[in-house]
Structure 1
């Protein structure tokens, strides 16, 4: 009487083919019939197949299986349980893309939330985990809806009733793995499939050799009423190297299948088989019509079809019940597994999908960056805030005042002194509202920072635009106070403005004009007092020369001083502008530029991930 596969006394545990892999603990059991301690036990014991509905196997089949197992022994005579499967190797471009994605995630962790980077991190982790495992095996999952016949197809490929079929729904409650060759235990461990659900096919050595390296996984129904079943399907579909989607004539257009699975996985077309099962139920040419409609739906999903030698999904029609088309699927699957490229293509497709999901946070259609015009405008706004123009004008006026004091007539200087003394005494001088000026300057600085941050963040994806604005805001804290202190240091230099070389000569000429006036006045006074002989011509001429010459000398000096005064004022304005620009650059522009540089780096890394080499404009 056959035993249930889930029973602890099931003879599945005694069959040498029951072990999922030579590395599985069941094979090393001392009670196993093929144990080295009892070489005759396998011949005397009854052989059982791996199906959940157990049945006896003929001696000829058991002998063929033993011969097939012996063929995989290495040259030293060691069993396959002692072999170390060769790890998977990624080619240069894929390895470069993975490195770029890892660098991209590292550069983005401080700017993007963990949820945004979760899928990219998962792809990197799974790619690293898969790379450590066997590269000689290809893990293929059979997925389908309830009643699509996927378990029946699974049994047809294995040549034995491994997965239970029947009218009860859902039939497949847990994933079942079937390996066509040894060395796949670690791959099946990665899927979380226990040893009691691992099988070996029951076929001729020729048929088994056709699919050598294949690990076939029968999944629960993806539309199962049990939530746990759907979770298992979603989990394992992210781990397998390829997948076979089984549809039937009734549910091939099911919205759940297309919207939840096929459409989001359109980029995985090269590792996808889409099988229309149960064509024996379709009369006449109906099978071709349904198959054509299925291809149309797949094309609408964005899934490339592997027709005419082009890469894409393989679409077949078959009947797992009658065997029609199963050989064609087995042949296509054998060629697919023999290429040993499914695992790398799966990783590449996962990288494509993760990069496409990250595109909105890295790529924008606008030019990003801070233009030179924006930098100059920011510096100009800061210069206005500290009053650079007013400081230059004040420096120019100070130069002119100094020139007037040095080259003006003594009488005019005396008059100016008297006026200043009188104004100071009356107290009618203007008092500037320093508080209002500081508030206005602060507003100008804040407006300048907002403007430059808006320009720098324009065209950036939202996370990076936010990072740029935050950097500008942090830099603006204390900027107004720093500019005020800077204005005090870089404004007018202490003391009087420097004098040009011609000023001493002008002072001597002005002194001479004054002396002529004094001499002429004293001469006239002496003549009036009768002390000196009357002669009005000379003293009057001296006085007229002094009176006219003094203002002329003063006017000439003032004209000559305009150029140096203007240059002096421009130098003072330039120093203050440069100081304000340097302060703004160190506090605001440099942090903003650092954020833009980080974005440029991640954009370049993203271009390497997408294999486009795209950079920033």
Structure 2
């Protein structure tokens, strides 16, 4: 399921995001790899996330890894392609199915190429003819099982081995007690010309606890064996035996040379060799026909079976392989997240889009115009009124200051660009699916963001137009002083008129001084008021710009940053779970 069809605010993660938004953060091939789980979903009751609860019967570390894998797939179901999660889901099914079956039995498959001597080897181990051997090829057409103790029916049913192909070893044979719990399965040839035989091999290898690869001196370096099976199974070395059979055909020291070359090839395949006490694959030479080395193999199998850890080690290797497959979709480069600077830049871009700076400048001009109207001389106001009548569009407030044309309140392209930039910054360093989920969450949240920002800008204009800006305490005094200057001019003019009319005793000095005081004092008062208004006007404009910036940033946070934070939080949680699944070996962002 593509993340395109999912919403960001789903489930527990989104609810956590609302409480604490986070902006800073932090294959298997065919053969046994065909699944270490093809057919794993045998009667597994689904859990809440579609995968069966597993791990209860396994030791602590494996139980924790399985639980983390189950949680990981549940958290990722809506973000990743089902194909990416299919192998991990099969591992969970395999773990649940194997846990419900016998823990005292160890199922070991014997696999090999045509003529390698698989059937002869199982017959030698059992002490009786279990599997037909001979020159006819292929000799083994269907899997044949040999169980050394009772109670393995459920395991054999799961392998789909019919009752007619189930055998028991020779009672009382040497080493039988040490092999109690062993179930050997002789497989068809993996290089058979019949597709049905190869399919049987791949299916059974996906369900057994361990495998014995039987090679002969002629085909031990066969590319099909190494490329199709051994190389993809390098991580399963601890549950792998590689047996060089038919050494009786090699003269002198040739057996040692071939065995050394086999070890070299395994090393090149990445298969760890269990030598010098180190965990890894067991490699030995024998002859099933003459019995040379068969006793040593029986002893090794006995110790392996009695340890009762094969199923856990095989399953742990399956989890390792699943984690390696999931690495590209969970681990990126660097430290993904959204820092404070990115958030601030996003808010700044929205402020530009909403016109916060222009709104602040307009509010400052409005304040200054109101100051000019309240404290200006009446003659200057008359002149400005006349100028507005003569050229209405030429002046809007202060002399010589033209009103800049208003731009669109919110530039949609600027908003979209801001969203793209912040989404890319948040997605940087994320694996591709999670980066895409972050981008889509941002785009979904920003669908109506331009309209919301338009509404913010419109409300701010209505607020400014619906009432006058608050006035400082000195404005009434300034208005009174300006009115006094006007009265002085009128009084001086009337005094002079009275002298001209002969109604008042002549004397030009005093009325002229009074009139000049009013004429000069009016502009001086207006200039002083304009100078005193600059600071409050600037603060008023800054407050208007700040309110619009904060409102735009709040909308951007709610609609874009919070969805991004939810995706980053989900990624952080899946990375924690993935680190547990991978055993703490995850690297990257």
Normalising by the smaller structure, the TM-score range is: 0.7 to 0.9
Which of 61, 65, 81 is residue 113 of structure 1 equivalent to?
81
Q: Residue 530 of structure 2 aligns to a residue in which SS?
A: helix
Partner of 2:12: none
Distance 1:614 1:450 in 2: 29
Q: 1:484 to 1:103 in 2, by over 3 A?
A: same
Q: RMSD between aligned alpha carbons?
A: 2.0
Partner of 2:480: 508
1:523 and 2:523 are equivalent in the alignment: no
Distance 2:387 2:451 in 1: 37
Which stretch of the first structure deviates more once superposed, 485-494 or 354-363?
Answer: 485-494
The aligned runs of 1:229-240 (5 Å cut-off) are 229-240=197-208
Residue 503 of structure 1 deviates from its aligned partner by 0.5
Residue 208 of structure 1 deviates from its aligned partner by 1.5
Q: 1:288 to 1:615 in 2, by over 3 A?
A: closer
Q: Residue 243 of structure 2 aligns to a residue in which SS?
A: strand
Distance 1:514 1:568 in 2: 30
Distance 1:416 1:616 in 2: 69
Residue 88 of structure 1 deviates from its aligned partner by 8.8
Distance 2:56 2:76 in 1: 29
Partner of 1:190: 158
Residue 416 of structure 1 deviates from its aligned partner by 1.4
Larger Rg: 1
Q: 1:380 to 1:427 in 2, by over 3 A?
A: closer
Q: 1:426 to 1:382 in 2, by over 3 A?
A: closer
1:456 and 2:426 are equivalent in the alignment: yes
After TM superposition, the score normalised by the length of structure 1 is 0.83
Q: Residue 283 of structure 1 aligns to a residue in which SS?
A: coil
Contact 1:274 1:314 in 2 (8 A): yes
Residue 490 of structure 1 deviates from its aligned partner by 3.3
Q: 1:543 to 1:407 in 2, by over 3 A?
A: same
Distance 1:313 1:613 in 2: 22
Q: Residue 176 of structure 2 aligns to a residue in which SS?
A: helix
Which stretch of the first structure deviates more once superposed, 424-433 or 553-562?
Answer: 424-433
Which of 287, 293, 296 is residue 325 of structure 1 equivalent to?
293
After TM superposition, the score normalised by the length of structure 2 is 0.87
Contact 1:604 1:615 in 2 (8 A): no
Which of 375, 387, 404 is residue 355 of structure 2 equivalent to?
387
Residue 426 of structure 1 deviates from its aligned partner by 10
1:214 and 2:182 are equivalent in the alignment: yes
Partner of 2:366: 398
Deviations 1:469-516 (A, max 9, x none): 111221221221111011112345321111011100111111111111
Q: Residue 130 of structure 2 aligns to a residue in which SS?
A: coil
Matched length: 529
Partner of 1:575: 547
Contact 1:88 1:130 in 2 (8 A): no
Deviations 1:71-126 (A, max 9, x none): xxxxxxxxxxxxxxxx9931111100000000000111111111110000000000
Contact 1:111 1:463 in 2 (8 A): yes
Distance 1:297 1:549 in 2: 105
Distance 2:69 2:110 in 1: 30
Partner of 2:18: none
Q: Residue 391 of structure 2 aligns to a residue in which SS?
A: helix
**Once superposed, which parts of structure 1, at least 4 consecutive aligned residues long, lie more than 4 Å away?**
425-434, 613-617
Residue 427 of structure 1 deviates from its aligned partner by 12
Partner of 1:497: 469
The aligned runs of 1:12-51 (5 Å cut-off) are none
Q: Which runs of 5+ in 1 are unaligned?
A: 1-86
Distance 2:394 2:574 in 1: 69
Which of 544, 564, 569 is residue 597 of structure 1 equivalent to?
569
Contact 2:331 2:587 in 1 (8 A): no
Which of 456, 465, 468 is residue 435 of structure 2 equivalent to?
465
Deviations 1:520-558 (A, max 9, x none): 111111111110001222211111111111111111111
Contact 2:331 2:586 in 1 (8 A): no
Q: Residue 244 of structure 1 aligns to a residue in which SS?
A: strand
Which of 244, 249, 255 is residue 212 of structure 2 equivalent to?
244
1:363 and 2:335 are equivalent in the alignment: no
Which of 219, 223, 232 is residue 255 of structure 1 equivalent to?
223
Partner of 1:485: 455
Q: Residue 209 of structure 1 aligns to a residue in which SS?
A: coil
Contact 2:388 2:394 in 1 (8 A): no
Contact 2:221 2:265 in 1 (8 A): yes
Q: Residue 216 of structure 1 aligns to a residue in which SS?
A: strand
Deviations 1:146-201 (A, max 9, x none): 11101110111111111011111111111111100111111111111111111110
Q: 1:505 to 1:381 in 2, by over 3 A?
A: same
Q: Residue 256 of structure 2 aligns to a residue in which SS?
A: helix
Which of 424, 437, 441 is residue 408 of structure 2 equivalent to?
437
Q: 1:614 to 1:268 in 2, by over 3 A?
A: closer
Contact 2:56 2:63 in 1 (8 A): no
The aligned runs of 1:39-438 (5 Å cut-off) are 89-204=57-172, 206-424=174-392, 437=408
Residue 430 of structure 1 deviates from its aligned partner by 9.5
Distance 1:615 1:297 in 2: 29
Name which structure has the greater RCO, CA cutoff 8 Å, separation 6+.
2
